[in-house]
Every structure is written in C-alpha cells, then in structure tokens.
Structure 1
Amino acid sequence: MKKTTVPFLAILALSACHRVDDPTLQWEQAELAPPIDLPLIVANPQREVFFGDLHIHSSYSFDAYTMGVRAFPEDAYRFARGGQVRHGVGYPVQIDRPLDFAAVSDHSEYLGIARRQAELDDPGKVQETYDEVLATALAGRAWRYLWHFMREGIRSSSAQARERNFGVPELAQASVNAWADIRRAAQVHNAQGRFTTFVAYEWSSMPEDQHLHRVVLYGDDKVPGLPWSSLESENPEDLWKELQRQRDAGHEVIAIPHNSNLSNGLMFSASQHSGEPYTEALAALRRSIEPVVEIYQVKGQSETHPALSPDDTFADFELVEQPVMASAPARETRGSYARDALRLGMEMNHAAGINPYRLGVIGSSDSHNATSPVNEATYHGKLPLLDGTPGIRLGAYSKDVHEQTTMHRWSAMGLAAVWAPENTRSALFAAMNRKETYATSGSRIRLRFFAGDYPDTLIDAADVIEVAYARGVPMGGELHVSHERPPAFLLWASKDPEGANLDRIQVIKAWTDASGQSHEAIYDVAASGDRMRQAGTEPLAPVGNTVDVARATYSNSIGATELRVLWRDPDYQPGQQALYYARVLEIPTPRWSTYDAVTLGVPAPEPGWIQERAVSSAIWLHHEGDDT
C-alpha cells in the first residue's frame, strides 16, 4: 500500500482535534427537508438583483471524492433551493435562504473517475459514515487513486487518458456518465423565472502549483459531449481558443477565472503564457471569453492586497496567499489581484492600445460539499476531511498543524450578484456578458451603481432607476464622455434584509497619468450617521463595533439600513483614462471561527470579527481616441 502522504498527516492531526467533544458529530438520522417551492419573479424592465453560486463541486470531482464528499449534482441543487442535504461528515446542512441560481462545476480532469474507481473496489457501497470515510482516507486508498490518476494521465490528452482508462477498462464510461448526470441535474432543476441552473465545469490548470483555474459556464443546453480539460493543455490561451471554436459551432460559453490570489502573478500578466507580448487579437479574445472574474470564495479574496494598495485600509480582508499546503513558496502579489489587473490593462492600453483586462466581478463559493457555505454562523467548510467540523477547523489554528496547512485562513464566502430583467438562463448569461454584476463576501447586500449625465436632483426622483439607465450606464458599462464637467455617479446600497447594517459606500478610482503609469484612490462617498459631515477633509471615523466575541453576537444598533448618494469625482480631469467601481462595507460581525469557538466552548482565535462587503464591476470612461 502507498505510504500516507504529508496531507494526510495534517488531516489526522486535524481530525483528532475535539473528536469527541465536537457537537457537530452528535446528530440523529432523520428525513431530510425537501427543497422549497420558490416564487415566480415577474420580469422587471428596470432589472432585479439575483444571488447565486456558480462554483460548486460534487463527488464527481476527484479531490472532493477523495476528501470525503459523497453528494451528487442533484444534492447541490437541492441545497441551493433550500432543501437539506447530508454533509460528507454525516450531519444535515441547509442554506439560510434559497439561492436564485447555481451551477455545479466539477473538475473536468478525471471527471467522475475517483468515485467510479472506489465503487469498483467495493461494489454496492453507496454511502459511507464519517468514520468509514476517515478510515479510507487515512489508509491511503483515496490518495492512491488520486496519485495513480495523476501519474498515469498527466501530460497526455484526456482522450488518450480515457482510452487507456488508467489500466481499468471499467472506467471507460466514468467521465461520460458523470457529465451526463451533471447535465441531467441542471435540466431537472431549471425552473423558468424561479430558479436557474447552468451547465458548467472547472478547467483546473495548475502548473507548478500556480492556480490558473477557470469555471467554464454555458448559457443554454447546447454543450459539448465532454468537458475540455487541462490534460489537453495547461495554457489558458488554448482554453480560450477551444471555447471560441465552440462558439463558432453555436455554443454560448464563457470562462470565469478564480483564485488569482494563488496564481503567483500568472493570472493577470502583461505577457502571453509563453512570455511573448500580447497581441490585440489575443487581448480581444480574452476580453470576450472572460467577461468576469471571481474575487470572493472560500480560498480567499482576489480584489486587492495591502502590498498593492497600501492606502486602502480595508485591503487586508480575508487574505489567503498560499495553497492548501503552506510549505509552498511565497506568492507574487502583482498580477494576482483584480484591481491590479484593471490598472495593468489601462497601462497596456496607454502603451500599445491593447487591454485584455476589462473585467467585471462576481463571487462564488468553490465549495466541494455540493453546498454553498457562505454564511459565517452556519459555515460547514469546503472539504469534509480538511475542514468539515468546528473541531477540525479550529484544530487548524494549532501551531503543529497550521504550519503545514492554510484551512484556518479559509473563508465563508462568496456569492455572485447579477442584475437582470428576469431569472432565466438567457437573461442572467447576458448580464454576465455585459458585466452588470457584483461580488459579495456572502451577505446579500443590494447594490446599484450608475454613471451618466445626471441632474443633481436625480437621487430623490421617483423614476431614479429609469433615468439612470436612460441617461447613463450601469456597473460593467462604458460611459462616453464628451464634455469637461465630471460625470455623476449614482450609488445606492441596501442592507441584507437578514444581515448587518451598512457602514459606508466607497468609490475606488484607477487612472493613468500622462506617462501611462496607473494610480488608484479610495473615496468614502456615503456613511451611516453624521460621519460624512463630521469628517470634512479628514478620514472618515470608524463605524464602531458591537461584536461580543465571547458570545458570537452583534447588534444593529449602529450603521444604516440604506445608503445612497449622487457623487462627482473632485479630482476629475477631462480626457484622463479612468475607471471607477463601488465597494460597500457592513458593520463588524462575528467571523465563522468565532461561531465555531462558541460551539466548542474554547477561546476564539483572531480575527474575531470581519466586515462583510460587496464590490461592483467597474464603469470605464471612454474619451475620443480611446478605442479599446
């Protein structure tokens, strides 16, 4: 038998923590609650915001199965629609509120094969208990499958790998069957106007442990016979070209990069994968195939980093800078975060008229439990054997473990927010292509962001949204500016109805100077209470903090339920290449680790609280002569 590898030593240490005292393991078998009958949302020409998760894995992903997940795509949609499902550890889990849309996006590499191999090894086994899953993992069986697949299949095409079947003829249909089940589950659960599903998969290129992953998302039922994987090529440019070929054949498809924070600077480079300079054709292809990027998820945020944005006091939010095994080398920050990519795109445009980075933003969870664990109070982890219980998760804070792993830094986030006239595949997919989207860290903040030639009285007008669309552009848009007066930005945020009050709204501006060097600035444009008036020219005062770490509670006695403002850039310069996006912050609330500590009756690790947030897609200013 293959010797247990280093990851399993970490798992053993984690699993031993609070193994008996962990209340999560004290549950009784019961009937699982069914999904909720979701209401029909009537089409709205002024658009509604819909919240969803486009990055969910089931047991058909090789890493999910080997780490204890036994759920199917059907379970993911059941969970997203408000039903209960069984966590890989065994206890039932349920979302706090149903989502509006979701996608199962299992890894295309070795799709369904780990599960099928285990079934062949032990015919008839359908569901394992937590102890059986743990025993299988610690015995090395799961990793034996995984490393066998990687050793036998890597660097060969997936067609060749499937033909060879890793030496097991019975695996010939594993990927085909898994892909068929993913498509079937999406079809069964798609309900026009009520709940939308997308057929999707994850392309998981990871050269030298550098994350270049993308979720590939289809806009309708017309999808290829099998997903395209990094076994064909680890080069993202080859993926874009393949997806363009699929578009030419009639498919509607986009790719959504994620975990750029772990890409070691490769996700948003100034050059091609080969090191050669970008061409306009390749930059245009990337802009077309990748309209949005995922900036919030379990493995950290990818908006910005303190080293890149030293004047941004909120840049240190939920940072994860290394993969699961913390022994990996330090990561390059430049080229790894979305704000930096937006700035780089403007610099490239100034220097050569080429910009590959006109990116909108979304969030999604990257859960491997067939769930969306984005609520801090009910967080149940990414992978059962790595972080599936409070005891395992808080065990990751112990010194002998956290030097090998990064699970204690993982986050309960994020969600994709999409403005569309109705909850259908075509409407949501069109919105993602035009970038009328925003990312949240898990909270369901409602955020509007427009720019245009607006009168100062617009903010109080009864038809404010109608005028905003008619005389300007929403988030993700490009505003054509032909006069010297600065455009007006309309910002309107409402709190999550079941969440925390709002602290402030900020506008992040990026621009290039005459030499082509990019810069950024953060403006506080609206805030709760009387803090904006009191601040004057000084920094805005903190909103305060009501979090009781010992009890994992907070109070909405501070903050605002709604903030809105019509804002003009005080530093506007006519003809300056610039972009703007909005960020909304909640008041402080307890982090998942604080809730876990209360559950276990142990001291809470730091940080004990966080400020949930929403980040909009940018609005670009277009001046005469700027053609990209």
Structure 2
Amino acid sequence: MNRISLIAIIAASLSVSPAAAQFLPSEQSLQGLYPGDTYSPFAQRAFPSQVFWGDTHLHTSLSPDAGLFGNTLGVDEAWRFARGEEVTSATGLPVKLGRPLDWMALTDHSDMMGFATGLFNGDPAITSSEQGKGWYDAFQQGGDAATAAALDLITNFSQGTLDPALVEAYSPGSTAYGSVWQEVVDAAERYNEPGHFTAFIAYEWTSLVAGNNLHRNVIYRDGARRAEQMMPMVTQPPVGSTDPLELYKWMQNYEDKTGGNVLALAHNGNLSNGIMFPVDEQYTGRAIDETYVEQRAKWEPLYEITQIKGDGETHPALSPEDQFADYETWDAGNLDLSEAKTPDMLKGEYAREALKQGLGLEVKLGTNPYKFGFSGATDSHTSLSTAEEDNYFGKAASAEPSLTRVTHPFTETENGIFPGWSLVASGYTGVWATENTREALWDAMARKEVYATTGPRMMVRFFGGWEFDDNDLRSRAPAFAGYEKGVPMGADLRPAPGPDAAPSFMVYALRDPIGANLDRIQIVKGWRTPDGTLQEKVYDVAWSDGREPDGNGVLPDVGTTVDIEAANWTNTIGASELASVWTDPDFDPTASAFYYARVIEIPTPRWVLYDKVRLGSEIPEEAALTGQERAYTSPIWYTP
C-alpha cells in the first residue's frame, strides 16, 4: 500500500459519520444506535441457549436381568457407544449411533448389581449355595437349560425367595457389591468430559410389587468423591425396601452425609397396574398424606413418559377425544404379566391423568406430588442406547436384529401377551442448559426445563406468560422474549397482571435436521374446576400445509408419504418448522391448570418395516408398520 492511499484511509476514518460505528471508540460505538444491551445476541446470555440430547435409562451386563438374558457388554462399551464409537453387540453385530449423544445416565439395577457376571464366572459365594450351584450348572450347560435357569432366577428374585446367602453376597456392605459399585463410579469418571460429553453416575432402584412396576432411576449431580461414600438403595430385605418413602429417606441421608445432590424419576407407570400414581393410599395401605405428597414432590421432578415398553402420556380410554392418544399403547397387564389389566387401573398409570390428579391433591393436602417434567429414555438392556427406528437394537440381547424378533413375544402368560413387534424404538431427553456439564444438565432436570421425544431430535421451545403476541415470533431468537415476558417449560406462570387476563403461550419447533417434517403442534391443557371436576382438552395451535379445521374444529390428517416397499418417506408434506402464540380461549382464573406442548411428526416407518425390508422378516397383520413420532414438553402450571 502506498503512502497516499494510507493517508486517504486515515482521513476518511476521522471524518466518518456516527453511524459507521466500527471506526469510533468502543464507548461511543453503539450508543443510541442499537436497542439491545449488546449487538451480539449470543453474548452475555443468562438463559439456556442449547439443547443437549441424552438417555436417562440404560442397562449393561451388570444388571441381573440383562446379563442373564445374554448381554455380555459392560459399562465401557455402553459409554463408548453413547459417545459415538462403533462396538460389537452381544449377538456379534457391529453397531454405531447415527449421531453421538451429548450425555447419558447409566442406570444398572441396584439390586444384586454384578450378580450375573459373578454367576457366569463361578463366584464361590454363589456356587456354595445349592440354589446358586444349580443355576451355575444350567448356564454351563447352555441352551434351554440356561433359559430356564434365567427365568427361575428372576422369578425367585421378584418373589423374594432367593437364598438369603446369595442376596447378602451381592448387597450393599458386601465386598463384591462394593467392588461393582466402584467400577460403575470409576467408569463414569473416565468417560465424563465436561463441555463435550456428560457421564452421570446413576442407578435404578427396582421396586417390583407383585409384578407391578414402581421403578425409579436415581441420578447424581456429583462425582466420585461423593457418590462412593454410600452404596445405592436396594429393594431386597433386610437392608432394602420397595416403598418409595424409604427411597426418599435414602436420598435425604445421602445429601446430609455427603453434601451432594440426587434426584429421582419414576418410569414405566403403564406397567404398574394402577399403583404408580396413588390418590387415596399407597400399595402398602398407608394413606396418601402430607408426608407422601411433600416427599414425592421434593425428590421426583421428572417422569419417564416414553420408553421401549410403551408410551406413557395417556390412554385412549382416559382421553377418548384425543385422536393421538392411542400411541404405542401397552395395556395387557403389569410388568411380568402376572396380573391382567383392568380398566380401573389406568388412572394410576399415565402422565396426563397424574398431572390432573395432582391438582386435586394440592387442594386437599397443600402440595402437588405429580408436578413433574417429562423425560424420555430407552430402558434398553443391551448396553446400546438406540432410539432410531432404522438402527433399533431391541430391549434385550434376544431382541437384537434377527429374522424372528418381530414375531417372538416379549412376554407371554395366560394373562396376556406383549408381542415382539410392539416394542418401541424410544426415546431420548432434550435438556435446555447453559453448558454440557453434570451440574448444568442436572440443574435443568431439577427445574424441569427438559422435554421428551420418541427418538427424533427435534428442537422445541415452550414459554408461558400473559403478554405474548405474534410480534414475539418475528425473530430467529424468540427465546429472548420468552424469558423476558414469561417462563419456560417446567415452571409456574407468574401472577396475572389483572383479573381479566388470560395466559398466552409461545411455542415453536424445528424438525430433526435428518428427520421427518412436522405435522402439527398441540397444546394439551388439564384443569380442576372449583367444584373439583378434572378436565382436559387438546388444542391444535400450529399446523402444516394450509389445512383448515372442519365444522367440528377437527384438523384433517396430514397424509403420508411412506413407501412401504422401500421403508422410506419424503418430506414433501409437513413443515420444517412451526410456531404459534396461543391464548387460552377457555381460561377460568379460579381453576388450577397445567399446559404442555405436543409436537407431532408426519408418518414415518417403524422399526418393524425396516426389519421386513432389510431382513425379509414376516410381519404379523396386527403389527403397525408406520407411526407419527412426537415430542412432549414439560408442563407449565397455573395456580389461582
């Protein structure tokens, strides 16, 4: 550059107008020129601006049932797979996620953790028992003998008829149990990489009351220094209990002793035969009182609304006017089909009904025990967190890809059947957090700023307030208005600005970048009238393709592009993004209420169709070949 050109540039910079802010001193550069606090919308953000994807529920060979039924993959394979590495499954198949997860909670069963591995290895503490020696010999023999031994062992476990010496050998306080728990904690520490991948220390407390599922997953905010100070809570006596109130005591003791933090989430209520969400009394006969509602509300901020063993949002018998209620419904009986399902049980099993019942319990006892957010998980027992329809590796090693897994029953007794094709490739949890660390993700779970999907990684925001309008969506970053004027999913609405105000909700969704387009967004409302009546209604608030509701307000189906012969679909229908500001037209300021958003995709193939096309599997006529996957946001609550 010559000297004349340089002088010209300097002169121009000295005479530049105030609007050319890049040449002015920084303290003057934006004064009066930009209405925001800073020009960069990404700087100095105090609210969560990223969604991180993970699984709150996965089992390895350390879980007795997983190990006994053929899973040979341990904690290292599970963590490596979640982080995006290729591994070899228990049945010898190479497998890899389409996209790595951002975080995971590895939740092996706390009861007799590591027992299956000890049994296969001939641990003298097991083979010295007549019961244990018989099982060991059967597994050495293999084939039908091994299968029968596995079923017999699990039956004895669930019925509490295990040899007490076996229970003692693999219970908290024993050398074997302490070694296994240390292995779990150490593995989580090895794979935890703050900012890149979060490995939660966790376990599953497996309360099973006469086959009725009351399981909870316990997730630590902490690292090894605290987690290794106390062994997990178990259900087997003499040190354990199946009563959730006893689990809450363990959680309180843990926090008091270590200074750490834990939370629990209940799951799979659709297999509890009505006892997951009690209203009058627990299964123990103890009345639902102030202690119960306060403790459950304190320790269980989340509920697993979808997973491999069926969807838990609602049931068509509970929500007959909801056209999307019958989604991946499992209602034959309890977890092991030892008892058939009866209609009266349904009210104690599903998330939407529990949210409504919680409003009534709050009036009665002062606290809402069912004020939970939504999480999604796999509950896979293969060490493989696969929720992708075209990459689905089943519930257990016996349900990994094969010609017959579609037709082979998952469970079958004289009380009913869970067909193999009814297993669900579900689900994941999206967490809105400031960074990918244990602390930030756990805090988001605790405040319920999370949502569940049946597998797709669609981005969903949901805010509630009193003053949202369409202008708030005239931006690519409506979250600024969302946090300024309202509250996010999982929160309580702020007080109304006046007696005539009605709440407004801002919701928007972007489809999974490699997934299907969106059919619609709905807002689900539940409320309790002043006379105690519990009601619900589903509102379509945004939809694709310019459809118009009919005279009854029903929106026509979006249609389908699924190619059955190729197990494919095209995004020629639906929308890549949908958004709406919706004001409740039926708002009653005297009625307590909750609201959550449900985002529905266009139809896509289920995993069984991929099995048909790729493997040539015979598909039963009653098996669903397609489905409309979805997301459920945590609710927002209104209290008069």
TM-score normalised by the chain length of structure 2: 0.83
Q: Secondary structure at the match of 1:58?
A: coil
Is 1:294 the equivalent of 2:304? yes
8 Å CA contact 2:315–2:346 kept in 1: the answer is: yes
1:330/1:399 CA distance change after superposition, 3 Å: closer
Q: Provide the identity percentage.
A: 39
For the residues of structure 2 that align with 1:429 and 1:563, how far apart are their CA atoms? 29
Q: Which residue of 2 aligns with 1:520?
A: 536
CA distance in 2, matches of 1:57, 1:43: 39
Larger radius of gyration: 2
Q: How does 1:60-79 map to 2 (within 5 A)?
A: 60-79=62-81
Amino acid corresponding to residue 46 of structure 2 in structure 1: P
CA distance in 1 between counterparts of 2:418 and 2:476 reads: 53
Map 1:436-451 to 2 at 5 A: 436-451=449-464
Task: Tell me whether 1:414 sits opposite 2:427 in the alignment.
Answer: yes
Give the unaligned 5+ runs of structure 1.
1-40, 123-132, 624-628
Q: Which moved more, 1:390-399 or 1:255-264?
A: 390-399
Q: Match for 1:474: what amino acid? A: P
Could you tell me how far 1:120 is from its partner in structure 2?
Answer: 1.8
- The answer on whether the counterparts of 2:466 and 2:501 sit within 8 Å (CA) in structure 1 is no
Cα distance in 1 between the residues matched to 2:566 and 2:413: 26
Aligned residue runs from structure 1 range 477-556, under 5 A: 477-482=491-496, 483=498, 484-531=500-547, 533=548, 535=550, 538-556=553-571
Residue aligning to 2:268: 259
2:341 to 330, 339, 358: 330
After superposition, give the CA deviation of every residue in 1:121-146 in whole Å (9 maximum; x if it has no partner).
Answer: 79xxxxxxxxxx99965343365367
Written as runs of structure 1 = structure 2, the 5 A alignment for 1:221-620 is 221=223, 222-223=226-227, 224-231=229-236, 232-249=240-257, 250-273=259-282, 274-321=284-331, 322-323=333-334, 326=337, 328-331=339-342, 332-385=345-398, 387-396=399-408, 404-456=417-469, 457-461=471-475, 464-482=478-496, 483=498, 484-531=500-547, 533=548, 535=550, 538-602=553-617, 604-605=619-620, 606-620=623-637
Per-residue CA distance 1:289-318 (angstroms, 9 max, x = gap): 000000111011111100111111111111
Aligned counterparts of 2:183 and 2:143: Cα–Cα separation in 1:
29
- Assess if the C-alpha contact under 8 Å between 1:43 and 1:421 holds in 2: no
Instruction: Give deviations 1:405-434, integer Å, cap 9, x for gaps.
Output: 533211000001111111110001000110
Contact 1:51 1:99 survives alignment (8 Å)? yes
Assess, with a 3 A threshold, how the Cα gap between structure 1 residues 559 and 145 changes in structure 2: closer, same or farther: closer
SS in 2 for 1:201: strand
Question: How many residues matched?
Answer: 567
Secondary structure at the residue paired with 1:55?
A: coil
How far residue 346 of structure 1 moved from its aligned partner, in angstroms, is 0.8
After superposing the two structures, state which structure 1 stretch, 601-610 or 359-368, moved more. 601-610
Shift in Å, 1:333: 1.0
Change (3 A) 1:142 1:201: farther
Across the aligned residues of Structure 1 and Structure 2, the Cα RMSD in angstroms comes to 2.8
CA contact (8 A) 2:393 2:400 kept: yes
Change (3 A) 1:478 1:210: same
- Please give the secondary structure, in 1, of the residue aligned with 2:380: coil
Of 243-252 and 487-496, deviating more is 243-252
Letter in 2 for 1:275: G
The alpha-carbon deviation at position 324 of structure 1 amounts to: 6.2
| Mapping of residues 185-204 of structure 1, within 5 Å | 185-204=187-206
CA gap of 1:405–1:383, structure 2 versus 1, over 3 A, is same
Whether the 8 Å CA contact 2:407–2:419 is kept in 1: the answer is: no
Decide whether aligned partners of structure 1 residues 407 and 135 sit closer, same or farther in structure 2, where only a CA change above 3 A counts: farther
Greater RCO structure (CA 8 Å; 6+ sep): 1
SS at match of 2:210: helix
**Does the 8 Å CA contact 2:106/2:201 hold for their aligned counterparts?**
yes
Q: 1:493 aligns to what SS in structure 2?
A: strand
Distance change (3 Å), C-alpha of 1:244 and 1:406:
farther
Cα pair distance change 1:513/1:176, threshold 3 Å: same
Letter of the structure 2 residue corresponding to residue 360 of structure 1: G
In structure 1, C-alpha distance between the alignment counterparts of 2:411 and 2:489, rounded to whole Å:
44
Amino acid at match of 2:146: R
Identify the range of structure 1 (476-485 vs 107-116) with the bigger mean alpha-carbon deviation: 476-485
Compute the TM-score of the two structures, normalised by the length of structure 1. 0.85
Q: What amino acid does structure 1 have at the position aligned with 2:274?
A: G
Deviation digits for residues 339-378 of structure 1 (CA, Å, limit 9, x no counterpart): 1100001122234434211011100100111111211111
Unaligned runs of 5+ in 2: 1-41, 125-137
Residue 241 of structure 1 and its aligned partner are, at CA, apart by: 1.6
CA drift of 1:325 comes to 5.0
State the Cα distance separating 1:598 from its structure 2 match: 1.1
Question: Is the 8 Å Cα contact of residues 318 and 347 (structure 2) preserved in structure 1?
Answer: yes
After TM superposition, the structure 1 stretch with the greater mean CA deviation from structure 2, 417-426 or 448-457, is 448-457
